[in-house]
Amino acid sequence: MDVLIEDVKKNSMISGITFSGGDPLEQAEEFAYMAKKFKDIGLNIWCYTGYTFEYIINHLNEKREWKNLIENIDILVDGRFEMDKKDETLKFRGSSNQRIIDVKKSLEVGKVVTLSY
């Protein structure tokens, strides 16, 4: 992981990182480590998950590594892709049930703050 982080640091063209595929929350400890390192160098971090933001927040006490990850990402795209809600006109998500969430603002105000593109 540290080799990857060092490679990213060396590339001035990279302004952000996206965690996706499988589900980053299933490997939250590793992704939290990387997220912290990337935040320390000023990168923007997006994370895609099949979980909903509410589910994540409600389980932070049981899954402490989720807290470390959530605190270090900027944008969360939540919810599973649902074929019956597929919408190719949506940006940054595949189905209409998925939301683009400003994590920091949501944590500050205690409710989901979505972004639209």
pLDDT tens digits, residue range 89-108? 999 999 999 999 999 999 99
The answer to whether 68 and 36 are in contact (CB under 8 A) is: yes
Residue 42's region, left for phi above 0, alpha for psi from -120 to 50, else beta, is left
Listed by start position, the domains of the chain span: 2-109
**DSSP run (H or E) holding 104:** helix 103-109
Q: What is the pLDDT of residues 9-64, one digit of tens each?
A: 899 899 999 999 889 999 999 999 999 999 999 999 999 999 999 999 999 989 98
Q: What pTM was computed for the model?
A: 0.93
What 3-state class would DSSP assign to 101?
Answer: strand
